[in-house]
Structure 1
Amino acid sequence: MATADTSQLFHVVVLLAAAAVAVPLFRRLGLGSVLGYLAGGVAIGPFGLGLFAQPEAILHVAELGVVLFLFVVGMEMRPSHLWALRRQIFGLGPLQIGTCGLVLTGTALLLGLAPPVAFIAAFGFVLTSTAIVMQLLAERGDIATPRGQRMVSILLFEDLLIVPLLALVAFMSPAHESGDGGSRWMAIGTAAAALAALVAAGLFLLNPLFRLLAAARAREVMTAAALLVVLGAALLMEMGGLSMAMGAFIAGVLLSESTFRHQIEADIEPFRGLLLGLFFLAVGMSLDLAVVAADWRFVLLAVPLMMVAKATCIYAIARLLRASHVDALDRAVLMAQGGEFAFVLYSAAQSEGVISGSVNNAMTAVVVLSMALTPLAMLATRRFTRRAAATLDGVEPASGQSGSVLIIGFGRFGQVMSQSLLARDVDVTIIDSDVDMIRSAAGFGFKVYYGDGTRLDVLHASGAGSARAIAVCVDDSAAADRIVELARSAFPQARLLVRAYDRAHKLRLVAAGVDVAIRETFGSALQFGEAALRQLDVDPDEAARITAEVRKLEAERFELERSAGIGAGAKMMRTNTGPKPTPLTPPRRQARVLGPGDGTAPGDTDPASGTPGT
């Protein structure tokens, strides 16, 4: 018994050591963590040092990392956001997959495969690795960007596609050619029932469950419940013949509106990262070098042909749909590989007698090699995309910081804003995700920590939990909205000051309950207008009075639009083509040279903050 326990512990230590050695080394070389995991898996696998004899067993467990990853992604996809992506999911997804499938089928025929085998080989390769693409997008912070959202939409459709592909394999099986279709309809009914049960549980059971557990104030129970939801949803989908990852994604979407979603995400994160790393190690261990050696001509010819054919097809479709060269090339390189669902499809096709075991082994090797080559292909094309990722050498990530004020974003706006606080000796913590800017700021004596303010764990590490105020100075309105959402739910003790991009953004921020919302150009534009009046020889006091009137009218217009919607106050604007609006306040005296005692409405305030200036 002691020997068996020691053997299991030895395997755990080997896995951890492989990750701890390979990943930092490969990241140091600029090759990325995914390739580090894959290389570590090859080194310790049965075809490397031989420390593991059955990588399939580890791969089956490690697939939970992909499941947890899809759950976290689902929590970021609110139903309204998912509905907004419907054209990309069910438009761009089928177009890309269908076109690439036909092109790859032709490529497989050129490699000498029979038509049915070529079809299965091609559509297995079409299914891009969700784990690799999502990990690479997350590492460079692109999941929430438009280019990232398009790739996420395609990946979601591919996850849905595995179900009809498995059904098609069953129809292609020689053993089922003469059978009736009752069992097939039964399988479809089971899948639909499993999906309906999951949606019903998500709508009516999950929130009451987490409210009950939150009242118990047992953190470990909340963590256990979060894992139960993810794994239970995955198990239910698998029992229904569907994808485990799709079940986890649906569960995440159903919890995306929950008040507990940030807590659940924080509880899941450590397990997600660990198991996803284990998945990549297992994929590396699954690379059968004996198969590659035995059929090296086919494998070495198939890998570049399949990757180039798929990448070319993706690029052409992206350009056809008016994507830029940079976006099209990025999508083509990132999605040119096969994925983990190909293993499932090929195994099912072999068990049904559609393809032989040798074809299964050879195509599995092709897929694994394509997954390993993707990070290298990204490095090779980086100079063409002009988006070389900056290294973090000399940049300190946020970890355990504390301060009275947390400033998120240190561009031009944040730099100017910080001067008032620093002049009063306020203890500030500053974070930003632009490495070049952080290094530049260090040359002027600023200490800026590296951190993405849209991530809850980064906000915790930056000291948001103890800050008296959080100043959101980023120049991305979507990122600002995300930070506001996190801060309002997780750090209610902090006053929230946010840089608004424009009028519509400020209206959203005020509706979200921020304490101060400042339009980034409004104050400077008012000063600019006042300076223009002075250059036209308008008396300085008169120019100041006019500016105060404009500010007050703007505040009244904003209040009207808060209640009646944007555009409701359009008639209050002064234009160069229409009549002047009727004043909302008693008219002041006509323009004249003001005496020393004349006022300029110093009490005009910003409706969102109660402080002068918008």
Structure 2
Amino acid sequence: MHHAEITPLMKDALVILGAAGIVIPLFARFRVTPIIGFILVGLLVGPFGLGKLVSDFDFLRHITISEPEALDPFAEFGIILLLFTIGLELSFNRLWQLRKLVFGLGALEILVIGALLAVALSLTGLDWYGSLALGLALAFSSTALVLPISGTNTPVGRASLSMLLFEDIMIVPIIFLLGALAPNATGDGWSGLLDTLWKGGLVVAVMMIAGRFLLPHLFAQAARTKSPELFLAASMLVVIGASLATALVGLSPIVGALIAGLLIAETEYHTEVEGIMEPFKGLALGVFLITVGMGIDIMVIWDQLWQIAFAVIGVLTLKAIVTGVLLRLMGARKATATETGILMASPSETTLIVMAAASSALLISRETAQFWQIVTAIGLTVTPLLAMLGKRLARQVEPAPTLDELDEEGRDAPRVVIVGLGRVGRLVAQMLKRHDVAYVAIDSDPDLIESARHDGYYAVYGNALREDALDKLNIDKAPAVILTMDEHILAQRMVRKLRTAFPELPIIARARDSFHAAELYRSGASTAVPETLESSLQLSEAALVDIGVPMGPVIASIHEKRDEFRERIQEDGALEHKPKLRTSTSEN
């Protein structure tokens, strides 16, 4: 009987999938980003790791990558999917709001860092053309690693996004510039650049106009079939088609992917598309990181250990300082400038692309390119460590506002206290502000506090379970305390502590379900609001109104049903010992 042979590509796919199955849960268990794990796997199974020993130990060929170059298309596709999903999280309105940062801060960042690196490299004996090429290449930062770490909704995320967007725009002009500077470049280098720019601009304009009309109809048809497979196929068609369109006119395919994501973000189907694409993006990004790890040669690092260490430290330090200073000049807070500068310090996957273009144009030698490729790979590897270092230094440079920094009015005036400033806490704060009810929010996550204060919320950093925190918040004068945290046990502890210290204080607590609500009532909550109950009541209200039932009777029945459920939950909580407390304003 004939047995089909396993092809090298199938075997490599098995190695990668096996690595993903081990790396992701293992690193997640220790709360470490899998980015480092994927790079280390690439180093281990690549040609400079166990691959070197295949000739001596034949069994190793089954757990190593046979054809590293065959993985390059998959790595590139991972970056395309990443930029597509980033586009889904944005919108054209938001990009328009960031225009000053993108073309101001972004332009300054890459031009200033590129020029300074070029000067530094020229002092090492490298000619000006090669220095300029390497300086611009190393000025890029990693979109694939920075944005998943920083997000796009925090001050650090917004600053990083603006710089990374400009870098993505500058990829093509820089690569064409390198071609024009090549020793054997012809006089049509600049004309080729202009040709690509006008063609690219035309394609982008057509995509934006056509996409606004065609995409809603395309995804509406896919949604009507109720077929996840068809929805996935439509999503893949859009992202691949947009990437090919920009690539055919000389632009980077990631430009097309980003625009496709932005267009879909304007439709009502963006959440579904984002959910479908997420697993593919994560796996493809893992393949890219594995290819980065496969490019690291331990022996070369050992032979040039001090030179590589000096180069890595020098590049990271220069980029961190320049980026931080530029952010401060643009008005960013010290903490934001410090954290963003350090996070953006490492080189990028785009650095490898620009280096390859510079090497092909004979602006740098093969040995020089290999040296800086290793520096770039190490920089990518330490990016998660830079993120942790940036957070720590940012808190030391400018600690989050604490309870000691409550203004005098905040110390004396009665304020509703909101514990927890996530999604629910923010919404509660918005409603209190709309009705002119004074409040102060407290959270133990400094990043949440920084982001909330940037968005205009009155928030302080602190642990609400501490006795001194309760004293500084003047809980005894507060009209009410609203607990919005999602931690089951922490909420109960907080309710019990507050009820013991302040018997008459109204305590309104968020509950996961009716069972959790009953436990909160037993602990002493005045009102416990189960998320499942409220979502069911809101759904019922919307349905009744939409089918024509008058609003007044609907609202009355909803309140009646809410009171009925609340009484039942209180009975389940065995609250005979609980004193009669004032009804919260949310019930009125």
**Shorter-chain TM-score range:** 0.5 to 0.7
Aligned residue in 2 for 1:86: 99
Task: Find the counterpart in structure 2 of residue 310 from structure 1.
Answer: 319
Contact 2:324 2:338 in 1 (8 A): yes
Deviates more, 1:239-248 or 1:438-447: 438-447
From the superposition, tell whether residues 492 and 82 of structure 1 become closer, same or farther in structure 2 (CA, over 3 Å): farther
1:42 aligns with 2:43: yes
Q: Distance in 1 between matches of 2:258 and 2:426?
A: 36
Conserved? CA contact 2:239–2:260, under 8 Å: yes
Contact 2:180 2:190 in 1 (8 A): no
Distance 1:292 1:267, change over 3 A: same
Rate the CA distance shift 1:260–1:30 in 2: closer, same or farther, 3 A. Answer: closer
> Are the equivalent residues in 2 in contact too, given 1:55–1:286 (CA < 8 A)?
no
Deviations 1:96-124 (A, max 9, x none): 22221122222222343221111111110
Residues 469, 495 of structure 1: 8 Å contact kept? no
- 2:209 counterpart residue number: 200
Question: Which deviations, in whole Å up to 9, do the C-alpha atoms of 1:107-158 show, x marking residues without a partner?
Answer: 22234322111111111011101001012124xxxx2123211111111110
- Structure 1 residue 72 and structure 2 residue 81: aligned? no
1:221-300 paired onto structure 2 within 5 Å: 221-300=230-309
Q: Quote how far apart the aligned CAs of 1:300 are.
A: 2.5
Q: Which amino acid aligns with 2:13?
A: V
Distance 1:91 1:494 in 2: 49
Paired residue for 2:15?
14
Structure 2 Cα separation of the partners of residues 169 and 332 of structure 1: 27
Aligned equivalents of 1:333, 1:340: Cα separation in 2: 17
2:491 aligned residue (441, 444, 463): 441
Q: Which residue of 2 aligns with 1:321?
A: 330
Partner deviation per Cα, 1:492-536 (whole Å, 9 max, x = no partner): 94669xxxxxxxxxxxxxxxxxx99xxxxxxxxxxxxxxxxxxxx
Is residue 346 from structure 1 mapped to residue 355 from structure 2 by the alignment?
yes
2-structure distance, mates of 1:168, 1:412: 49
Q: How does 1:361-376 map to 2 (within 5 A)?
A: 361-376=370-385
Deviates more, 1:9-18 or 1:94-103: 9-18
C-alpha distance 182-377 of structure 1, shift in aligned 2 (>3 A): closer
How far does the alpha carbon of each residue in 1:316-374 deviate from its partner, in whole angstroms, 9 at most, with x for none? 11222232222111101110011011111111111122222122211111111111122
C-alpha distance in 2 between matches for 1:63 and 1:350:
20
Alignment correspondent of 1:469: 534
Aligned residues with identical type, % of pairs: 30
Shift of 1:292: 3.0
CA separation of 1:71 and 1:495: change in aligned 2, threshold 3 A = farther
Secondary structure at the aligned position of 2:346 is classed as coil
Q: For the residues of structure 1 that align with 2:13 and 2:71, how far apart are their CA atoms?
A: 11
Distance 1:246 1:495, change over 3 A: farther
Give the alignment of 1:140-155 within 5 angstroms. Answer: 143-155=152-164
Distance in 1 of aligned mates of 2:119 and 2:232 = 48
Number of aligned pairs? 429
Question: Partners in 2 of 1:151 and 1:172 — Cα distance?
Answer: 30
The answer to whether the 8 Å contact 1:302/1:366 transfers is yes
Is 1:134 the counterpart of 2:135? The answer is no
Over 3 Å counting, the alpha-carbon distance change for 1:438 and 1:353 in structure 2 is farther
* Counterpart-to-counterpart distance in 1, 2:299 and 2:541: 62
Deviation of 1:186 (Å): 3.4
Asked if the contact 1:56–1:286 (Cα under 8 Å) also holds between the matched residues in 2, the reply is no
TM-score with structure 1 setting the length = 0.63
Given candidates 378, 385, 389, the residue that maps to 2:387 is 378
Whether the 8 Å contact between 2:15 and 2:65 is mirrored in structure 1 is no
CA distance in 1 between counterparts of 2:192 and 2:268 reads: 42
Q: Is the 8 A contact 2:142 2:348 kept in 1?
A: yes
Match of 2:184, as an amino acid?
Answer: A
Residue 178 of structure 1 and its aligned partner are, at CA, apart by 4.6
Alpha-carbon offset, residue 184 of structure 1: 4.3
SS in 2 for 1:38: helix
Return closer, same or farther for 1:612/1:22 CA change in 2, 3 Å cut-off: closer
Q: Is the 8 A contact 1:129 1:338 kept in 2?
A: yes
Helix, strand or coil at the partner of 1:176: coil
**2: CA distance, partners of 1:276 / 1:362:** 24
SS at the partner of 1:5? coil
Change (3 A) 1:105 1:203: same
2:222 matched to 1:213?
yes
Distance 1:494 1:281 in 2: 50
Q: Which residue in the other structure is 1:33 paired with? A: 34
- For residue 469 of structure 1, give the secondary structure of its aligned residue in structure 2: helix
- Alpha-carbon distance change, 181 to 32 in structure 1, aligned in 2, over 3 angstroms: closer
Cα distance in 2, alignment partners of residues 373 and 177 from structure 1: 40
Q: Write the letter of the residue equivalent to 2:491.
A: A
CA distance 1:495–1:7, change in 2 (3 Å): farther
Q: For 2:25 and 2:44, how far apart are their aligned partners in 1? A: 15
Contact 1:38 1:283 in 2 (8 A): yes
* 2: CA distance, partners of 1:180 / 1:41: 37
Mapped partners of 1:217, 1:298: distance in 2:
58
Residue identity opposite 2:86 in structure 1: V
Structure 1 CA distance, aligned partners of 2:334 and 2:233? Answer: 46
Question: 1:373 and 1:239, CA in 2 relative to 1: closer, same or farther beyond 3 A?
Answer: same
Task: Give the secondary-structure state (helix, strand or coil) at the position aligned to 1:386.
Answer: helix
Give the superposition deviation at 1:69: 1.8
TM score, norm. by length of structure 2: 0.66
Cα–Cα, structure 1 residues 146 and 170, in superposed 2: closer, same or farther, change >3 Å? same
Residue 568 (structure 2) aligns with = none
Once the two structures are superposed, residues 401-457 of structure 1 have per-residue CA deviations (whole angstroms, 9 ceiling, x without a partner) of xxxxxx96479969xx9xxxxxxxxxxxxx97x68x6652254699978xxxxxxxx
Cα contact 2:232–2:273 (8 A) shared by 1: yes
Of 184, 195, 199, the residue aligned with 1:186 is: 195
1:90 Cα offset (Å): 0.9
Change in Cα spacing, 1:3 to 1:352, as seen in structure 2 (3 Å) is farther
Residue aligning to 1:504: none
Distance 2:188 2:104 in 1: 35
The 1-side partners of 2:538 and 2:289 are apart by 38
Q: 1:259 to 1:7 in 2, by over 3 A?
A: same
**Does residue 1:334 correspond to 2:384, yes or no?**
no
Deviation at 1:238, TM superposition (A): 1.5
Structure 1 residues 180 and 302, CA gap change in structure 2 (3 angstroms): closer
Task: Give 2:207's aligned amino acid.
Answer: L
2:178 and 2:8 map into 1 onto residues whose CA distance is 39
5+ residue gaps, structure 1? 388-406, 418-430, 450-465, 472-490, 497-514, 517-605
Larger deviation, residues 245-254 vs 440-449: 440-449
Residues 408 and 470 of structure 1 are in contact (CA less than 8 Å); yes or no, is this contact kept in structure 2?
A: no
Residue 4 of structure 1: how far off its partner (Å): 4.2
CA 1:54 to 1:88, structure 2 compared with 1: closer, same or farther past 3 Å?
Answer: same
Change (3 A) 1:3 1:329: farther
